[in-house]
Amino acid sequence: MSVCIPFTCRGNRSIWRNNQRELSTANRIYQKESSVLQTMAPILLNATGTDHSDYIEQEEVHVKNPHLDSMEEDILYHLDLGTKTHNLPAMFGDIKFVCVGGSANRMKSFAQFIHQELGLSGDMAGIRDICAGTDRYSMYKVGPVLSISHGMGVPSMSIMLHELIKLLHHARCRDVILFRIGTSGGVGLAPGTVVITNQAVDSFLQPQFEQVVLGKVIVRSTELDKGLAEELLSCSTEIPNLPAVIGNTMCTHDFYEGQGRLDGALCSFSTEDKLEYLHKAYDVGVRNIEMESTVFAAMCHTCGLKAAVICVTLLNRFEGDQINTPHEVMLEYQQRPQFLVSRLIRKRLGLIQ
């Protein structure tokens, strides 16, 4: 069953604090969903451990900020949530899988899709945007799965991830897996190929993410869980017409010049320069290009979260820069990462072999 979590506009926050009926409603909805998911409880335990004691021993989601402990309240501003205004453990404590993607519409579609895939009761039309009080991101909860948009590019992804990781921490979630699902430009691959990221590399082809903090450059590793990548690749072999590879993903700060495109408003290089750069990337294992993977991998790795990046290629950048694939074909391509992640989730929950 999907959960429709009540929300309030930020301007009414003080009124909402004095009226605890919304919290009571959230608790009742959570309890109702919990009863629906009771049949899935043994499955969830099997996914995280062999019995209840194993489940309890699972690590909670940790943040790397000592200042949070001294804060009376933590307002997750861009998600329109907060530790005083919402009962986060009741609303989100059962989350096991988080799927993030750029487009709000795509993540709503994924929430509806995973609702069907998990065989949950209730009307898919009842799935509501938990972050509807803000226009920055969209978030949908379906059973143990959270689907949330992250916008386009590193800055937008970074803001969302800070608040998402804090949300998982405040909700006391355990044993959570994060997936980024999206689209990308292929490097030496046919359109429609799903790339499961081995390493996220920057524009200098280094497996690292550089964050400027107080005028100093902080370098963080972009290591992803290799076992999870192999598990996803294995799942891909069980899905017809879903070509998949494990390869490195290059993350850039721009769609045009940063990715060596010749069709932007600005271009200071030749076709030969572009192809030389792309071949250099290919030679170090890069198989696709997008704009969020380094910060996603770095923040998940730093916080000890198991994570994977799964993106479908929309074109082969050796052959061109513009995306001219027919719309209906594009839609089918965009669903491929969703099919793959759904299969892994259902296997982890014991719903399929």
**pLDDT band at residue 60, thresholds of 50, 70 and 90?**
confident
For residue 106, say whether it is annotated as part of any ligand binding site: no
- Which tokens go with 272? 């030969």
Mean pLDDT in the chain? 87
Compute the average pLDDT of residues 66-90.
Answer: 95
**Does the pLDDT of residue 8 top 90, yes or no?**
no
More confident residue, 199 or 123: 199
Q: How far apart are alpha carbons 345 and 353 in whole angstroms? A: 11
Compute the average pLDDT of residues 143-161.
Answer: 97
**Does the pLDDT of residue 351 top 90, yes or no?**
yes
**Does the pLDDT of residue 43 top 60, yes or no?**
no
What letter does residue 223 receive in the DSSP assignment?
B
More confident residue, 29 or 252: 252
**Does the pLDDT of residue 37 top 90, yes or no?**
no
Q: What is the pLDDT of residue 306?
A: 97
Report the predicted TM-score, pTM, of the whole model to 2 decimal places.
0.84
For residue 259, say whether it is annotated as part of any ligand binding site: yes
Give the count of beta carbons closer than 10 Å to the beta carbon of residue 26: 20
Phi-psi region of 308 (alpha: psi -120 to 50; beta: other; left: phi over 0): beta
**Does the pLDDT of residue 123 top 90, yes or no?**
no
**Does the pLDDT of residue 194 top 70, yes or no?**
yes
For residue 180, say whether it is annotated as part of any ligand binding site: yes
Spatial neighbors of 133 by CB under 8 A, at least 6 apart, are 7, 8, 9, 10, 80
Compute the average pLDDT of residues 43-50.
Answer: 39
Q: How far apart are alpha carbons 126 and 109 in whole angstroms? A: 13
Q: Domains in the chain, please, with CATH?
A: 1-175 (3.40.50.1580), 183-353 (3.40.50.1580)
For residue 343, say whether it is annotated as part of any ligand binding site: no
For residue 181, say whether it is annotated as part of any ligand binding site: yes
Q: What is the pLDDT of residue 277?
A: 98
